[in-house]
A and B are shown apart, each in its own frame.
Chain A
Amino acid sequence: MEEKNLILEMKDIVKTFPGVRALDGVNLKLYKGEVHALLGENGAGKSTLMKVMNGIYKRDGGEIYLNGKKVEFKNPKEAQEAGLAIIHQELELVPELTVAENIFLGREPRKGFLVDFKELIKRTQEVIDRLGVDIDPRSKVGDLNIGNQQMIEIAKALSQNSNVIIMDEPTSSLTPTEIDILANLIDRLKKKGIAIVFISHRMEEIFEICDKVTVLRDGKYIGEVKVEDTNEDELINMMVGRKLESRFPEIKHRPSDKILEVKDLVVPGKVENASFELYKGEVLGIAGLMGSGRTELAKTIFGLFKPSEGEIYVKGERVNINSPKEAIDLGIYYLSESRKDEGLVLGMSVEENTSLSVLKNITNLGLIDNQEEEKLAKKYVQGLKVKTPHIKQKVKNLSGGNQQKVVISKLLSTKPDIIILDEPTRGIDVGAKKEIYELISHLVDDGAAVILISSQLPEVLNLSNRILAMGENRIMGEIDAKDATQEKVMKLATGGDLN
Chain B
Amino acid sequence: MTAKSKESQIIKLAAKFKSAIGLIGLIIVMSFLSEYFLTVHNLMNITRQVSINAVLAIGMTFVILTGGIDLSVGSVLALSSVITAGLMSSGMNIALVLIIGIGVGTLLGLLNGLLVAKGRMQSFIVTLGMMTIARGLTLIYSDGRPISGFDKSFRFLGAGHVLGIPVPVIIMFALLAVSYVILKKTPFGRYVYAIGGNEKATELSGINTDKIKIGVYAISGFLASISGIILASRLNSAQPIAGTGYELDAIAAVVLGGTSLAGGQGGIVGTIIGALIIGILNNGLNLLNVSSFYQLVAKGAVILIAIFLDTRSQKRD
Contacts and interface: CB of A to CB of B under 8 A. Distances in A.
B186 A366 contact: yes
B9 interface: no
Interface in A328-380: 328-329, 334, 336, 341-348, 352, 356-357, 359-360, 363, 366-368
A197 B190 CA distance: 46
Contacts, number: 70
Given A359-B187, A360-B187, A348 B205 contact: no
A345 B201 contact: yes
A358 to B, nearest CB: 9
Interface in B186-206: 186-187, 190-191, 193-194, 197-198, 200-206
B207 interface: yes
A388 interface: no
A148 interface: no
A356 B190 CA distance: 8
B190 A359 contact: yes
Contacts of B207: 325, 356-357
A327 B198 CA distance: 20
A427 interface: no
Contacts of A302: 204
Contacts of A334: 204
Interface size class of B (residues with CB under 8 A): 20 to 34
A324 B264 CA distance: 21
A98 interface: no
B135 to A, nearest CB: 36
A95 B193 CA distance: 33
Interface in B153-189: 181, 185-187
Nearest to B210: A323
Interface string B51-85: 00000000000000000000000000000000000
A337 to B, nearest CB: 11
B295 interface: no
Interface residues of A, number: 29
A410 B204 CA distance: 11
B264 to A, nearest CB: 5
A343 B190 contact: no
Contact of A367 (B181, B193, B205, B208): B181
A233 to B, nearest CB: 39
Interface of B: 181, 185-187, 190-191, 193-194, 197-198, 200-208, 264-265
12 contacts: A302-B204, A323-B208, A324-B205, A336-B204, A342-B198, A345-B202, A347-B264, A348-B264, A356-B202, A357-B205, A367-B181, A410-B205
Top 9 closest pairs, chain A to chain B, by CB: A345-B197, A328-B206, A359-B187, A367-B185, A356-B205, A325-B206, A345-B198, A357-B205, A347-B197
